[in-house]
């Protein structure tokens, strides 16, 4: 694990909130000089014995991704925190990831990046695992065993080099699940290796894992 | 626990308006007997609980099963399997639908046996099976919905010319009747399961819809061909009528329970059997996931039984009484307005409507907001019920005076709206005509028909569901048009 990621002046803000609040988050953020965002649907894991008995293991979430410079990102995430009360349980989480540049938006230019900002106050990493549809919950299980507190699952499609195929007249891509897990840096290694072992990620076609360092988090509960 | 509360809240918002309208009517123009009002209120509570449980059950049971089977079918890459499975699935789902049996019994009665109950059930089910097969084949071969709907409705039109007018109403009603609370979520999920695989996400999005719409045409064709074959003349005979004898408040809920439970069980059976066969052949679900979908089916069962129980025992009497009393008032404006108002609010309490709105959100990643779909549907149904009431009041209006123009608008509209909305619009036609409409609104219309001189419960009773199934075609396509214009401006 690299404890000292390159700090940049640009960040991706991820906000994961309950279904229906995504547009509100984006709307609010836009008032504070965020120029745009992308919303997609996911499912957040739940831990509740009673619900689990009835087969309810997740609830619908919306994930909002917005790009901005670090200063704005810090401000916006604080404002969103005040507004949506991430500190309370079940009110959602927010975190930022460093990016090298943002294209397609006149406000941000990649060549202005100052990479010397060395301070690293990151405590958390984002582990993203992409596996075949239906395997997501096993990823969550493996991660929980190693100490992760929760996960967000997003339905997706995708394929490795040998996976695209054609049935009838339609080209198909296998269905996948993307699992986002935020963990403390200390246990990142454990969680990753637990997922690797359980899901046999090292065999070809079983999925991929990648880890990113998170700059700032809100709403994570121990 | 918040998941449960959220569901409950979502359902409450859609059921409360109906209760409010009835209570307000009770204290203003149409006082009801106290025991009826109590029954209605108890029914409301049961409906809210039942609908919440049912929707949860659909989320964790029926939808995953439908998705998995749809994907599984497509992945076999054998058209024979897809078509055969479509035929069989469509047939058994339709044959197990309680609403269809009620309709078939009524037809048997009004035709004095010349079209038997079995003939209708078999005819409709064969039609539905054929259309589900066609609908699935359409998705895998990328055939445009426009083409399919244009051709199919042209066939319906030609057959409609040959059929007797009274049967026209029955046939269009049957298209609403076969697409019930269980079959719609399943068929929706099936289509989504096939189209989810598509690499082209735009195609994947729009092909998630339309299968319910295509399936409903199968029912229409089934009944129409029955009529042409058997060559029935005028409709005679009488419809049975529900007696309002019981003064008890609680008893009716228990009295209805066994029958409702049996009906729902039969309707659920095809899905359960399909699941077991699928799991046996492909082992598509992990052990845990399998346990979960079984639990989902169980929840769907309990929820739907409660819902149907609440509707039949609590809502039906009140519906027909309110219809009767309001229609007896001197000013006929009341019955028109109240009919439209009830139509506006009841459609949102249809179980399948919730399922459709959720699937729309999921397929489009929230691009099409559920509220907008809801409002469009509400407006559509309000117009449908309003027009149905008007037909009671003005003897000259025939059903086809409504249906023909509405399809003449709906079909050309297809060629200017985005294809995604075509599927959604035609699906919502089948979706809107669920158990709530088939009981509460139908009872209301029949009650009103009794109070209006010259209106016949028989002729006017049929046809309302047909209207409810046709106006959303226009309403949602117009929504599509608005979306198209709006997004073009922004771009």
C-alpha distances in Å from residue A73, one per residue of A68, A78, A96, A123, A220: 6, 8, 8, 18, 18
Three-state SS for A220? coil
**C-alpha–C-alpha distance, residues A90 and A219, integer Å:** 9
Please state which of the ranges B238-247, B367-376, B468-477 shows the lowest mean pLDDT: B238-247
- Could B295 and A39 be called an inter-chain contact, meaning their C-beta atoms sit closer than 8 Å? no
Whether the Cβ atoms of residue B443 and residue B326 lie closer than 8 Å to each other: no
- First and final C-alpha spacing in chain B: 42
Whether the Cβ atoms of residue B273 and residue B281 lie closer than 8 Å to each other: no
Domain positions in chain B: 2-484
Confidence bin at A116 (pLDDT 50/70/90): very low
Nearest to A55 among B2, B79, B292 (CB): B292
Residues in chain B closer than 8 A to A57 (CB atoms): 292
Q: Taking each helix axis as running N to C, give the angle between helix B442-451 and helix B464-490, from 0 to 180 degrees, rounded to the nearest 10.
A: 120
Q: Does B74 touch chain A (CB under 8 A)?
A: yes
Whether the Cβ atoms of residue B465 and residue B176 lie closer than 8 Å to each other: yes
**Cα angle B288, B293, B296; round to 5:** 130
- pLDDT at position A101: 62
Closest-CA residue in chain A for B300? A54
- pLDDT at position B97: 84
Question: What six digits make up the tokens of B248?
Answer: 């008890």
Please state which of the ranges A46-50, B116-120, B422-426 shows the lowest mean pLDDT: A46-50
Domains of chain A: 10-121 (3.30.70.120), 124-213 (3.30.70.120)
Across-strand partners of A40? A63
| DSSP one-letter code for A111 | G
- pLDDT at position A164: 59
Quick one: average pLDDT of B291-305? 94
Closest-CA residue in chain A for B138? A169
CA B337 to chain centre: 23
**What is the spatial order of strands in the sheet that A152-157 belongs to?**
A208-214, A124-132, A175-184, A152-157, A37-45, A58-69, A10-18, A93-99, A216-218
- pLDDT at position B162: 85
Share of chain B above pLDDT 90, in %: 44
The answer for residues whose C-beta is within 8 angstroms of residue A38's C-beta and 6 or more apart is A64, A65, A66
Three-state SS for B129? helix
- pLDDT at position B302: 96
Tokens 């916006």 appear where? A76
| DSSP one-letter code for A109 | -
- Rounded to two decimals, the pTM is 0.86
Quick one: average pLDDT of B445-462? 77
The pLDDT of residue B235 is above 70: no
Confidence bin at A163 (pLDDT 50/70/90): low
- pLDDT at position A110: 47
Closest-CA residue in chain B for A90? B2
Output helix, strand, coil percentages for chain B, rounded to the nearest 5. 80, 0, 20
Residues in chain B closer than 8 A to A90 (CB atoms): 2
Residues in chain A closer than 8 A to B78 (CB atoms): none
Q: What is the mean pLDDT of chain A?
A: 81
Per-residue pLDDT tens over the stretch B237-269:
555 555 555 667 788 888 888 988 998 999 899
- Could A56 and B60 be called an inter-chain contact, meaning their C-beta atoms sit closer than 8 Å? yes
The pLDDT of residue B285 is above 50: yes
Closest-CA residue in chain A for B361? A41
The answer for residues whose C-beta is within 8 angstroms of residue A47's C-beta and 6 or more apart is A150
Nearest to A169 among B2, B140, B293 (CB): B140
Question: Can you say whether the dihedral through the CA atoms of B174, B177, B182, B187 is positive or negative?
Answer: positive
């Amino acid at each position: 694990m690299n404890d000292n990621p390159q700090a940049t002046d640009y960040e991706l803000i991820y906000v994961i909130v309950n279904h229906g609040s995504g547009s509100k988050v984006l709307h609010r953020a836009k008032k504070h000089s965020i120029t745009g965002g992308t919303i997609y649907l996911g499912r957040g894991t739940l831990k509740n014995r009673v619900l689990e008995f009835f087969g309810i293991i997740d609830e619908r979430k919306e994930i909002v991704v917005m790009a901005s410079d670090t200063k704005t990102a810090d401000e916006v995430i604080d404002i969103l925190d005040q507004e949506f009360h991430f500190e309370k349980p079940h009110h959602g989480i927010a975190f930022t990831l460093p990016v090298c540049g943002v294209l397609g938006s006149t406000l941000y230019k990649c060549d202005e990046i100052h990479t010397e900002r060395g301070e690293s106050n990151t405590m958390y990493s984002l582990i993203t695992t992409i596996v075949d549809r239906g395997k997501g919950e096993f990823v969550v299980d493996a991660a929980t065993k190693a100490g992760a507190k929760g996960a967000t699952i997003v339905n997706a499609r995708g394929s490795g080099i040998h996976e695209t195929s054609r049935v009838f007249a339609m080209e198909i891509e296998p269905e996948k699940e993307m699992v986002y897990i935020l963990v403390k840096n200390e246990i990142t290694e454990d969680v990753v290796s637990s997922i690797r072992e359980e899901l046999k990620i090292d065999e070809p076609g079983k999925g991929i894992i990648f880890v990113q360092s998170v700059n700032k988090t809100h709403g994570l509960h121990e | 626990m918040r998941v449960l509360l959220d569901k409950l809240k979502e359902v409450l918002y859609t059921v409360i308006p109906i209760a409010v309208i009835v209570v307000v009517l009770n204290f203003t123009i149409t006082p009801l007997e106290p025991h009826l009002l109590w029954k209605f209120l108890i029914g409301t509570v049961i409906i809210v609980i039942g609908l919440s449980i049912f929707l949860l059950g659909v989320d964790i049971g029926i939808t995953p099963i439908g998705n998995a089977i749809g994907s599984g079918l497509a992945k076999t890459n054998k058209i024979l399997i897809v078509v055969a499975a479509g035929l069989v699935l469509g047939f058994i789902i339709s044959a197990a639908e309680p609403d269809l049996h009620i309709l078939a019994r009524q037809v048997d009665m009004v035709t004095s046996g010349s079209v038997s109950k079995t003939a209708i059930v078999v005819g409709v089910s064969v039609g539905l099976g054929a259309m589900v097969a066609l609908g699935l084949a359409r998705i895998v071969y990328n055939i445009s919905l426009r083409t399919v709907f244009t051709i199919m409705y042209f066939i319906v039109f030609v057959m409609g010319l040959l059929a007797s007018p009274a049967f026209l109403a029955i046939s269009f009603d049957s298209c609403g009747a076969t697409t019930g609370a269980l079959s719609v979520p399943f068929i929706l999920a099936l289509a989504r399961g096939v189209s989810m695989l598509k690499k082209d996400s735009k195609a994947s999005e729009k092909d998630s819809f339309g299968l319910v719409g295509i399936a409903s045409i199968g029912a229409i064709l089934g009944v129409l061909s029955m009529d042409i074959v058997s060559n029935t003349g005028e409709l005679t005979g009488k419809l049975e009528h529900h007696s309002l004898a019981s003064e008890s408040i609680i008893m009716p809920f228990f009295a209805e329970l066994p029958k409702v439970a049996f009906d729902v069980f039969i309707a659920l059976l095809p899905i359960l059997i399909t699941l077991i066969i699928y799991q046996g052949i492909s082992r598509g679900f992990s052990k845990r996931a399998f346990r979960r979908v079984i639990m989902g089916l169980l929840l769907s069962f309990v929820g739907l039984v409660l819902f149907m129980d609440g509707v039949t025992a609590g809502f039906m009497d009140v519906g027909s009484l309110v219809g009767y009393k309001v229609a007896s008032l001197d000013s006929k404006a009341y019955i028109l307005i109240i009919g439209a108002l009830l139509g506006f609010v009841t459609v949102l309490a249809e179980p399948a409507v919730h399922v459709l709105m959720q699937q729309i959100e999921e397929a489009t990643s929230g691009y099409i907001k559920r509220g907008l779909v809801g409002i469009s549907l509400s407006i559509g149904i309000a117009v449908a019920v309003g027009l149905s009431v008007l037909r009671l009041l003005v003897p000259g209006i025939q059903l086809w005076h409504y249906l023909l123009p509405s399809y003449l608008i709906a079909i050309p509209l297809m060629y200017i709206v985005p294809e995604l909305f075509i599927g959604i619009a035609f699906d919502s036609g089948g979706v809107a005509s669920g158990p709530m409409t088939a009981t509460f609104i139908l009872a209301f219309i029949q009650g009103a028909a009794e109070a209006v001189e010259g209106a016949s419960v028989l002729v006017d009773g049929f046809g309302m569901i047909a209207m409810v199934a046709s106006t959303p075609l226009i309403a949602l396509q117009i929504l599509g048009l608005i979306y198209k214009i709006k997004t073009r401006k922004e771009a």
